[in-house]
Amino acid sequence: MKLAVLLGLPATILSAVYAATDPHEYREHLHLKPLPGGSLYAGFSFNATTSLGSYDKQHYRYFPRSLAQILHYTHTAELHLRFSLGRWDEETWGSRPRSGLREGGNGVELWAWLESDAERKAEERWSDLVNSLSGLFCASLNFIDSGKTVRPLLSFDPEGSLREYQAMQERVTGRGQGELQLLHGMLPHEVVCTENLTPFLKLLPCKGKAGISSLLDGHKVFDSEWQTMSVDVRPACHASGTSWECQLEIQQTVDMVLNTERSQRPHDDPIPRPKPIEEIKCDASKSYNGEDTCYPVAFEGEQEWTLSKIFGRPLRASCLASGSDTHDVSLAVPSERTVEVISKSTVSHEGDNSTRSYYLPDDTDFDLHLPQQVLASNQQESETASVHASRQITGYGQERGGMHTTLHNPHPWPQDVIYLESLPWFLRPYVHTLSLSAGTIKKTYYTPLLDRQRGTQLELLIELPAESTVELTYDFEKAILRYSEYPPDANRGFDIPAAVIRVLPGNSTLGAPTRENYLRTTSLLLPLPTPDFTKVRQGLAGLKKLLAKSKAGVNAGDESNGKTMQESSSPVKEENGRPKEHKKSR
Amino acid sequence: MSSAKSSPPPEQGSFIWTRRLILFAFWGVVVVLGLPHWLWTTSIHRSQLPLESMNNWADGKVCRLQYPIHVKLRYEDAGFDETNALAAETQHVLNALNQLPLYQFHITGDLANASSEQALLPSHVRDTLASRENSLIVNIQNDKKIKTPQAALKSLIPVLDVRHNPARTGDSLTAFLAREISKVFSHEQNYMHHLLQETPFESKEYVNRFSPEVKAGLDARTTRAFKYASTYHLTFSLFVASSSPSAWNIQQALEDGIYPLIERLSPVNRFTIDTQIQLYASFSPSIAGPQYNPITREWQLQRPDLSGFINAAEWPLSPSIGSGPTINFVLYVPSKHQSPLVLAETGGQSWIVPQWGGVQIFNPADKQVDQLTAEDLRPAMLTFADQLSTLVGLPPSPSSLSLRISGLTRERTTSLILSASSTLGALSRLTLKLTSIAIPDSVAKSVSETIHRLDQACQHMQDGRYLSALENARTAEEEAEKAFFEPSMVGQVYFPEEHKVAVYVPLLGPMAVPLVLSAIKELKKLRERKVKVA
């Protein structure tokens, strides 16, 4: 429970920030939290706001112009974009940061509420949106076509006050923009990389040159065990007198889990090597034959780490010169843990004996050093996740297969979850085989696939009984693709996007949390019947050879004719000529 | 050498006939079914294009570029007849002057001189009313104090104020008026000639030899200005080397400095405006950076660095979404320790990046300031307005803004007509040269629309309705470009004959070889038999 509070801390700070009414606000925050198993969670969040008036007049201060223009052009009211890599290890690390609200399925995930009066228009704007974002973030978002787009009904709720926003827009522009439509797309195959981080940093006011964003370095971010980047834009309206006042908020987050030992290896010598024997603490309780080897003492207590070593660069001075009234950096460690602050900054807040907060200095670097230490108190236990989920493909052969999802509720209260699958068209589920081992399906929304046009959308509202494991299974058939539809490296398999699981807030009288949270399964690889593409090449190569030979034959014939005319007296030629004549005569 | 072998028994006649029948059936299928099918599937649709009128436009035969200029003469101290006589005389002198062969002057006296209701209106209202119909208004006033006639242009409205002393000058007023009016149009005339040079539209009667300086000036104007577009996106960016100032009162500054100009330009172009603030803007690593000059106590930016000043890799200056080019205006605030920053040699603070935008360095007087007020920004905005007028191609002279804008309208119309005509010519040459290229119906439609619009533009221009001529010329240019860059045609251009051979040979070769060989064999046998019979 405690950990959940800590990890949720950035979110609470955010909500406090949002309460502030000053448009053109900018806040950034870094939350650090050592995790069991020698890992460190680092959650960066950057928030900027702009008033609706400046947004409509297109005057941007901290809100990035490049993104705002896209939103303006495509009439996007709310946007959520995720770039994710790796898997959050729930068993070791506990519940997810930010309640899973700021993470996505492996690869890229995008969902947005678009204003449009017609279905067709919404699709056009969606296509404009993915294409522009694709250019902005250097990602293959433009591959989110109609076949990869779904319109979930239960899984997502808008975070912003969209209704008020629309009313305001209508008043300003004088015309209604039509209904809001939610579209959702996933690209599980996309490899998130530095080229996505650079445009992400460019959207920030300080661009990684000052403030906490100066820690973000592609080498370290993408070397982490789990990493997710998110961009969220939403309108926030609050009543002021009789009317509403709206502003647009952008929140960018980078969350990652770094291995402290691995990240602190020197940049120029990243390969781990055995230490010289003098530096190893030997286990003296064992007997040794020689001096050159020994058993090292088992590692005890907390690992030593330094902020600048972990991220490979120092944290530079605070981003904006005007002093902020919220803490820039917070560190969640027990109060007994020694923390050395290498800076002019002062510890401003000890918190509930487990969180320390720091202001960044205005003109010098900031660093934290935590020495190796054995804590008297026991390891804090990590909060168990609300639901565990895993998903596999079963079966064998090239024709059929099955999907098998395990949902485990570890809590002594029943939970409602919404399970969203968006499957590509070449995976054809047999919905009549859909079965649940325990629990009940309360609602089902199912959109069947259309070949090459639309994928399957399956949304289930499932009740998970207390302390139970529920298995969800269905069978499917694999379609056969056309020659040109195979991607490069088709034998690797086809990526199936992650299933999105939304855990609804439970009954608080039973002790269930009142906040909803999200989790996603890993994405899957589906092997499809793949032709041997080399056959085609071989055929072509054979034909080429044939043509080349026939041409060479013609040329050679010409040449030899010429030669025989010139050197007809040569005896060698005659000798060569004879067997030919012989052959001819036969 | 050859071994004597007994020949096989002669074939039966019916076998020979069966074989011939089979062969004939195969060939029949190929000829009757295969060939038409092949022709049908590979035939390309070529719509009929009006090649003749396209070529006529490209050769400049259709439209004679002539610009009628209506001038109204107002001479308050003279009588009705006298004014008209002066007008007629001046018109005769001007048109005979042969200095401005592209222009046809129509000078009329202001008939609403004394009696009409208009005369009761204040003079600036009358001027505004008159300027809707006329390109230029000449206001003549008697002044007994001066010796020689004097002329001055008003800065916003197209009015030329002339003062002269009737006692001293008798006949030379006409010559003076003609000279002053031709002076107003001389730059435009030069630019038009520059535009028309080496195009089929160039008039043969008038060969102008520009001095190298004039030519360089005209070239610079062409290279600096953007290509004409109906909409320009203006992006005003404040780039700050450190973290402050981080705010500016841009709305007010724009209203003061930029909106008036944009409003005047609105008949010619539309504009969208957006602004942004970017902190921690660093120089591009490719430039040397500013150097400190201890004598002047200034940081100086060297001339070679100016072209690389915009750090395209890091500064988010992506073009705006939507059709039309983006004009960037960058206001750069150097960091405290590199301030003040000026340009070496000239000591100036602003420069134009041709066809991209304008850059200006802003050294705040108060180094601690966090917000720039509209007052701080006023000089910068005036510079930006000046740069904007250069970038949209506004002529540098005459001094009256209204005359410059109407000059711009004529120049833009002319260049659009030239561009559309040459595109039509290129399209016609292309379709004649590449006979295998498909011409979809949409291209034919675009071409006929282009020709129609060009006719309209030409007609309206000769009538002196320049704004609607511009509108038509713009549509014509857009349609011509659309026709020329039709995607289905572009793909076909790169589909050479060798490619076809490479496709057909592997496909048809294996099938054709036995067919052809057996046909040849059969024909040979037929001939042998005929020889035998004979």
Q: Using the beta-carbon criterion (under 8 Å), do A210 and B280 form an inter-chain contact?
A: yes
Task: Tell me if ipTM is over 0.85.
Answer: no
Q: Do A24 and B273 touch (CB under 8 A)?
A: no
CA distance linking residue A94 with residue A96, whole number of Å: 7
Order across the sheet with B326-333: list the strands.
Answer: B270-278, B231-240, B326-333, B357-361, B350-353
Closest Cβ opposite residue A58 in set B273, B279, B506: B273
User: Which CATH superfamily is A388-526 part of?
Assistant: ntegrin, alpha v. Chain A, domain 4 (2.60.40.1530)
Q: Is B250 on the interface with A (CB under 8 A)?
A: yes
CB-CB: which of A60, A205, A209 is closest to B275?
A: A60
- Distance between CA atoms of A45 and A250, rounded to whole angstroms? 10
Residues in chain A within 8 Å Cβ distance of B247: 24, 61
Domain edges within chain A:
2-267+302-370, 388-526
Report DSSP state, residue B33. I
Contact A345, A361 (CB under 8 A): yes
Q: What does the pLDDT read at residue A84?
A: 94
Residue of A60, A124, A132, A360 to mutate, testing the B interface (most B Cβ within 10 Å of its Cβ): A60
In chain A, pLDDT over 70 holds for what percent of residues?
Answer: 85
Q: For the purposes of burial, counting CB atoms within 10 Å of the CB of B353, is it exposed (0-12), middle (13-18) or buried (19 or more)?
A: middle
Mutate to test the interface with B, among A203, A209, A540, A549 (most CBs of B within 10 A): A209
pLDDT tens per residue, range A350-368? 666 678 888 888 778 888 8
Nearest chain B CA: its distance from A443 CA (Å): 42
Strand order in the sheet with A468-478: A388-394, A400-409, A468-478, A427-436
CB contact (8 A) between residue B243 and residue A320: yes
- A205/B1 CB distance under 8 A: no
Cα–Cα distances (Å) from B426 to A38, B52, B57, B228, in that order, read: 70, 13, 11, 20
Query: Out of A62, A209, A322, whose CB is closest to B280?
Result: A209
Structural domain spans, chain B: 17-42+496-533, 51-62+399-493, 67-187, 192-223, 231-391
Q: Determine the pLDDT at residue A585.
A: 37
Determine, for residues B272 and A60 on separate chains, whether the beta-carbon distance falls below 8 Å. Answer: no
The answer to whether A66 contacts B318, with C-beta atoms less than 8 Å apart, is: yes
Asked if A138 reaches chain B (Cβ–Cβ under 8 Å), the answer is: no
Among B2, B243, B278, select the one facing A319 at the smallest CB separation: B243
Nearest to B279 among A57, A203, A205 (CB): A205
Give yes or no for residue B302 having a pLDDT over 80.
yes
- What SS3 state is found at A6? helix
Residue A165, number of CB atoms within 10 A of its CB: 25
Tens-place pLDDT, residues B200-234: 877 666 566 677 888 888 888 888 899 888 899 99
CA distance A1 to A513: 10
Cα separation, A582 vs B288, in Å, equals 82
Q: Taking Cα atoms as reference points, which of A79, A223, A185, A66 lies closest to residue A423?
A: A185
Question: Does any CB of chain B come closer than 8 Å to the CB of residue A321?
Answer: yes
Our measurement of the distance from residue A301's CA atom to the centroid of its chain's CA atoms, rounded to an integer in Å, reads 32
User: Tell me, what's the pLDDT at A577?
Assistant: 37
Instruction: Please tell me if residue A209 touches chain B, with a CB cutoff of 8 Å.
Output: yes
Q: State the count of interchain CB pairs (< 8 A) between A and B.
A: 73
Torsion sign (Cα): B81, B82, B83, B89: positive
Residues 6+ apart with CB under 8 A from A145: A127
Candidates A320, A543, A581; nearest CB to B246: A320
CATH number given to B67-187: 3.40.390.10
Query: Residue A441: what are its φ and ψ, rounded to 5°?
Result: -90, 115
Summarised one tens digit per residue, pLDDT across range A283-308 is: 888 888 877 788 888 777 788 899 99
Residue in chain A closest to B236 (alpha carbons) equals A59
A447 DSSP β-pair partners: A457
Tell me if chain B has a CB within 8 Å of the CB of A573. Answer: no
Residue A581: predicted pLDDT: 38
Interface of B with A in 280-299 (CB under 8 A): 280, 282
Chain A residues whose beta carbon lies within 8 Å of the beta carbon of residue B318: 66, 136
Interchain contact, A66 vs B320, CB within 8 Å = no
Q: Name the residue facing B274 among A58, A209, A543 (closest C-beta).
A: A58
The sheet carrying A340-342 orders its strands as: A305-306, A367-370, A340-342
Average pLDDT over residues A322-333: 75
pLDDT in tens, A49-70: 998 888 888 899 899 999 999 9
Q: Mean pLDDT highest for which of A544-558, B36-50, B469-483?
A: B469-483
Higher pLDDT residue, B406 or A538? B406
Shortest CA distance to A72 belongs to which of B190, B418, B272, B469?
B272
The shortest C-alpha distance from B255 to chain A (Å) reads: 12
Cis peptide before B245 (omega within 30 of 0): yes
**pLDDT at position A267:** 76
Give A193-208 pLDDT, tens digit per residue.
Answer: 999 999 999 999 888 8
Residue B328: helix, strand or coil by DSSP? strand
Q: What residues of chain A lie within 8 A of the CB of B320, using their CB?
A: 69
Asked if A73 reaches chain B (Cβ–Cβ under 8 Å), the answer is: yes
| pLDDT bucket at A382, cuts 50 / 70 / 90 | low
* Greater pLDDT, A119 or B122: A119
- A65 contacts chain B (CB < 8 A): yes
Among chain A residues, the shortest Cα distance to B2 is held by A585
The pLDDT-based confidence of B169 (bands split at 50, 70, 90) is: low
Mean pLDDT of A377-389: 74
User: Is the CB of A59 less than 8 angstroms away from the CB of B280?
Assistant: no
pLDDT for A498 equals: 94
In order, the DSSP letters of B43-62 are ---B----HHHHHHHHTT-S
Identify all chain B residues contacting A209, using CB atoms and an 8 Å cutoff.
280, 282
- Judged against a pLDDT cut of 80, whether residue B2 lies above it is answered with no
Residue of B nearest to A55 (CA): B274
With both helix axes pointing from N to C terminus, report the angle between B441-463 and B401-433 in degrees, rounded to the nearest 10: 150
Look at residue A556 in the predicted model and tell me its pLDDT. 52
Q: pLDDT value at position A580? A: 38
> Of the candidates A99, A96, A75, which has an alpha carbon nearest to the alpha carbon of residue A87?
A96
A59, A205, A543 member nearest B250 (Cβ)? A59
One-letter amino acid of A496 = I
Predicted pLDDT at A20 = 40
Structure token pair of residue B392: 């949209």
Helices and strands, counts by H and E, chain A: 13, 25
Would the CB atoms of B316 and A58 count as touching at under 8 Å?
no
pLDDT at B307 over 90: no
Give the best residue of A22, A66, A581 to mutate against chain B (max B CB count within 10 A): A66
Give B3→chain A minimum CA distance, Å: 8
Q: Place A24 in a pLDDT band, splitting at 50, 70 and 90.
A: low
Q: Say whether residue A360 is in contact with chain B using an 8 A CB cutoff.
A: no
How distant is the Cα of A106 from the closest Cα of chain B, in angstroms?
28
Q: Which of A341, A358, A340, A339 minimizes the C-alpha distance to A349? A: A358
What's the mean pLDDT in A508-530? 86
Res. A391: pLDDT tops 60: yes
Length of chain B: 534
Count CB neighbours of B55 within 10 A: 16
Contact with chain B for residue A16, Cβ under 8 A: no
User: Mean pLDDT for chain A?
Assistant: 83
Contact criterion met (CB below 8 Å) for B157 and B399: no
Q: 3-state DSSP call for residue B162?
A: strand
Closest C-alpha among B101, B104, B91 to residue B205: B101
Residue A9: the pLDDT is 45
Lowest mean pLDDT among A109-118, B182-191, B376-385: B182-191
Q: Is B211 helix (H, G, I), strand (E, B) or coil?
A: coil
Phi and psi of A113, rounded to 5°? -100, 120
* Region for A452 from its dihedrals, namely left if φ exceeds 0, alpha if ψ lies in -120 to 50, beta otherwise: left
More confident call, A196 vs A238: A196
CB-CB under 8 Å, A202 with B314: yes
